[in-house]
A and B are shown apart, each in its own frame.
Chain A
């Protein structure tokens, strides 16, 4: 799924990894078999580029409690988890434009360090309610 050039570019990006990251992939053959297989393959291809990245595949119909805990109710889906679950979710195959976002999310999750300004971090630290940010995009 990844070209040689993609692999080389991502390997270079992954030199910035600080710690282990797990990609928790949700697949359900009966719901979206082909898309789930592609999503799983993408996760494995990315993980193959660096030892610090691992993949776990779950089926939301079987691993119900964990799917619920992650808030995953649709497939294909992917959770990017670092030292803790930071709340990074991808619904649909993160290819094209979303691919660079996936790679960036992996790097940020590996350290817990963001590129946000101090002012933004201070504001976020004062949040008293939960926030869910949905970002809709297309591959191109």
Chain B
């Protein structure tokens, strides 16, 4: 009964808590696998860069159509994709590495976004608009987030093998199939889509947190790609759940509460994880049950 009171009652009592929890589940299902692949492909900072590129896109959507879910998502999607693809293209046709060209493009689009917003004169509270709140997720936003999560899982299932192959040996895939860059592009589209979904619920910057922190934490516990993915989904969802409860019980803003919970999973994994953690490296013989 007491456990029920603590863990479930808030969700049973309040519709907004339920919707927030479902949004977390959908985000976890989409972002978990994407984050895992980003970590495996050494593109962890890419998500961060692309999320910055989404922000001005959403701002433009807001300026054009007001507080419309679809306009802001579309704006974020278009600008995010443009930046991601342009960066990839530039790195292929010039000598510049992808991370450098991405940095260049996202900084430009971020600056352009700030410029466009301030041109409008009125500074409507953009923090609230751009840093969406998981407490005010409505049915529309929920559909969008769930739809993107479903699409992500389906597409990932289809391109799973080539994507994994490319993670570990991109030259091999190019040699046998010649489609390496195609899978890369599809993957980039998924990254942007998931960040747009996360932006609706958590805001652009927090969305990257739910994508990267669970995936990074999972690296200390699992080795296979499937287990990494499953574990990061689980960590992301549990972070969402406990973050919401913390926000409920201790009056803390929910977005940061969720991300910091994921962050504490990450820190704990660094220290205690099974593979490559501080414990595994410096105290290889010790286990929890040893004492």
- Chain B binds chain A: no
